Structure 1
Amino acid sequence: MFTAEHNSLIDGAVQFLRRGGVIAFPTDTVYGLGVDPHDDKAVKRLFEIKVRSKGKAVPLMIRGAGDLNLVAESIPASAKLLIKKHWPGPLTIVLSKSEKVSPLISGGKGTVAVRCPDHPIALGILVRFGRPLAVTSANISGEEALCAFEEVSVEFSSKVDLIVPGEVRYKIVSTVVDFTVEPPVVLREGALKIEV
Structure 2
Amino acid sequence: MHTKSFGIAGPKLFQPRRFADARGYFCETFRADVFAAHCGPFDFVQDNESLSETVGTIRGLHFQTPPHVQGKLVRCTAGAIFDVAVDIRVASSTYGQWVGEILTPANGMQMWVPPGFAHGFCSLEPNSVIAYKVTGYYNAACDQGLAWDDPAIGILWPDVADRTTLSAKDRMHPVLADLPAYFGTERVA
TM-score for the superposition, normalised by structure 1: 0.28
Between Structure 1 and Structure 2, the one with more strand by share is: 2
Rg: which structure is higher? 2
TM-score for the superposition, normalised by structure 2: 0.29
